[in-house]
Structure 1
């Protein structure tokens, strides 16, 4: 699937959505991952070993394992993107913060798929993807307003995105074309 270009696609998947968010927010230090090379080195090492790891684990797990990790990443990155936009330095309005969360979660996959010469998942699968993220980011905002502890807020919001995404698969819920 993504095997032709594991290195660039791994880096883009890890940092693409956050980079797009930082560009849109004019966030400094610009491109946070550039300032902290440890993140890049970890992703670089993981990208080198990913094809071998996937070859071994594909015998043990099916596509559902990749779906689970994708949805967990979607939830965590989206919630963190919303949190960053709400940060005291950014102070974005609620709707903008939510959209920055969606951008953070969704754009990495879009850029990765384009880089790998594939139609982005969000365009080829009519199941709600960004909609689940959008709703989860609003839940994060609501719980923030209620001053729920940050750890619980992140867990609840991410769990909502995870469950909502799985419900769309279980019941084959699709958006109209």
Structure 2
């Protein structure tokens, strides 16, 4: 993998982990969970999709095992997250959860696709690995919090945005765009597509 892409993906993965952990903190606050519950929900949200991807691609060690620092940071944030989120309840509302979730969706989906390509997976499988990486953290979060996953109860495009963005990334890669810019453009596409379709209340046919 190109050194610049490796560096870009490292930054992207870090941002995605924090974004998904943040959405986990918000969901934990809504459920009035203590610090232990907050940590478990945030950890599952941040690493669920990546762990499923690593299992399917037979990658070892798992990303969160290899990067222990992220687990430690989430643990530390979990100790203070309930108090911070309670004081800032007017800011960290449903909209904040949507934005954090959309950021994580875009960042994780593209990094997952790139990792699958690096593992010599065919194009369609690489895209599906990207979608799995992007959506499964949110699915696990909702299941742990005893909710029907957002992916199943909301007909607005979610996995569809990730699916389209991953194909855009493959197209840019095929056209030999700079790898870093390809990641940035495709990630931005997923983020904007998710927010715009949600704002305009675009819904998929039943």
TM > 0.5 fold call: yes
What SS does structure 2 have at the residue aligned with 1:2?
helix
CA change 1:115–1:61 in 2 (3 A) is closer
- Measure how far apart 1:166 and its partner are: 1.6
Higher mean displacement: 14-23 or 159-168: 159-168
Deviation at 1:52, TM superposition (A): 2.0
SS in 1 for 2:28: coil
Equivalenced residue count is 174
Alpha-carbon distance in structure 1 between the residues aligned to 2:198 and 2:54: 31
Alignment of 1:38-117 (within 5 A): 38-87=69-118, 90-117=119-146
Q: Does the 8 A contact of 2:85 with 2:92 survive in 1?
A: no
Structure with the largest fraction of helix: 2
> CA offsets per residue over residues 91-144 of structure 1, 9 Å max, x none?
100100000000000001101111111111111111010000000011111111
Structure 2 residue runs without a partner (length 5+): 1-26
Match for residue 177 of structure 2? 148
Asked if residue 2 in structure 1 is aligned to residue 34 in structure 2, the reply is no
Q: Structure 1: 5+ residue runs without aligned partners?
A: none
| Residues 22, 31 of structure 1: 8 Å contact kept | yes
> What is the Cα-based RMSD across aligned positions, in Å?
1.4
Once residues 142 and 57 of structure 1 are traced to their aligned partners in structure 2, the CA distance between those partners, rounded to angstroms, is 41
Distance 2:98 2:69 in 1: 26
Correspondence list, 1:131-142, <5 A: 131-142=160-171
Answer yes or no: is the 8 Å Cα contact 1:82–1:97 preserved in 2. Answer: yes
Shift in CA distance, 11/61, structure 1 to aligned 2, threshold 3 Å: closer
Structure 1 counterpart of 2:24 = none
Q: TM-score, normalised by structure 2?
A: 0.80
For 2:51, the equivalent position in structure 1 comes to 19
What's the TM-score, normalizing by structure 1? 0.92
4+ residue runs over 3 A deviation:
none
1:159 equivalent to 2:188? Answer: yes
Q: CA deviation at 1:11?
A: 0.4
